[in-house]
Amino acid sequence: MPELPEVETTTCGIRPHIAGQRIRKVIIRHKQLRWPIPSDLAQQLERRTVLGVTRRGKYILLLFKHGTAILHLGMSGHLRVVSAETPARKHDHVDILFANDCLLRFNDPRRFGALLWTGLDYQQHTLLKNLGVEPLTTAFSGRYLFAAARSRKVPIKSLVMDARVVVGVGNIYANEALFAAAIHPLLPACALTLIQAQQLVAAIKKILRGAIKAGGTTLSDFLQADGKPGYFRHLLVVYGRAGQPCVNCNNFVQVIRLAQRSTFFCQHCQVNL
């Protein structure tokens, strides 16, 4: 999916168009996403006003007086704001039409995304209540990561991709951050030193901020709310570069499989195993 920078880019991109706007109509063309879209969703949303648009981890939240719509982009989803008369294309599963003639359109070819509703405090929702800290807050510190890692034997890459520890770090940015911090992805989490934890946290923050600034990373499907791709792809230094020279030392970038995910690193620069 879209990792945190793509979700943040989308959240900020749609907010000015829909916050404070009243929903006129909800069209659901394909309700079978990762979970079925609740049958009463259109009824919950129509004639209601969006009070705010926010994000928790990779979940986009549309806030209403009487509840919250919870949207996840999955692996291949994107949200766009288009004009009301724009014809629907393939994989345009949901349209939310606003009184100001803005159309919020959810497209997701692989349908790993989700659109759910909760009438309660969204923070208590099953999908959100066990999420870890936000990576761009002061709560995500070297000491925090060090403490979370001490009791864990999983590779450090798996730990930083564990949403119960820190949200939003997906495969691309985990690879990039570990390279930037010169830490081998297979290093057991419990072997991480405090200094390394501090370096890794700093690298994650720097990379996520840089990716948000660039509008995210587009490999194939992701688009910003205005339809433009993200440009961070050009700034990736290890992800997808197997066999190419390391930007640091010119040795070849390696690729291995770790937890079914492609894992890129430089054997020379990330030696601390």
Partner DNA sequence: AATCGCGCCTGACGGC
Partner DNA sequence: TGCCGTCAGGCGCGAT
Catalog residues that contact DNA under the rule CB under 7 A. 1-3, 6, 32, 34, 57-58, 72, 74-76, 90-91, 109-112, 126-127, 151-154, 158, 163, 170-172, 189, 216-222, 230, 259-262
Q: How far is the CB of 213 from DNA (least distance, A)?
A: 15
Specify burial of residue 248 (Cβ count, 10 A radius: 0-12, 13-18, 19+). middle
Integer-rounded Cα radius of gyration of the chain: 20
Residue 97, classed as helix, strand or coil, is strand
Q: How far is the CB of 60 from DNA (least distance, A)?
A: 11
Tell me, what amino acid is at 127? L
**CB of 13 or CB of 170, closer to DNA:** 170
Q: How far is the CB of 143 from DNA (least distance, A)?
A: 18
- Alpha helices by DSSP H, the chain: 4-18, 41-45, 142-149, 156-160, 171-180, 194-213
Active site residue 56: no
**CB of 7 or CB of 23, closer to DNA:** 7
Cβ atoms within 10 Å of 111's Cβ, excluding its own: 16
Specify burial of residue 48 (Cβ count, 10 A radius: 0-12, 13-18, 19+). middle
Q: How far is the CB of 179 from DNA (least distance, A)?
A: 15
Sheet with 114-118, edge to edge strand ranges = 52-56, 59-64, 67-72, 114-118
Give CA–CA dist 249/27, Å, rounded: 53
Report whether 271 contacts 208 (CB < 8 A).
no
73-101 core/surface letters (b: 16 or more CB in 10 A; e: else): bbbbbbbbbbeeeeeeeebbbbbbbbeee
**CB of 91 or CB of 268, closer to DNA:** 91
Active site residue 58: yes
Q: How far is the CB of 147 from DNA (least distance, A)?
A: 12
**Residue of 15, 56, 58, 157 marked active site:** 58
Q: How far is the CB of 91 from DNA (least distance, A)?
A: 6
**CB of 39 or CB of 83, closer to DNA:** 39
**CB of 6 or CB of 8, closer to DNA:** 6
Give CA–CA dist 107/96, Å, rounded: 12
Active site residue 2: yes
**CB of 24 or CB of 91, closer to DNA:** 91
DSSP secondary structure letter of residue 155: B
Give CA–CA dist 142/145, Å, rounded: 5
Active site residue 29: no
Q: Which residues are catalytic?
A: 2-3, 58, 261
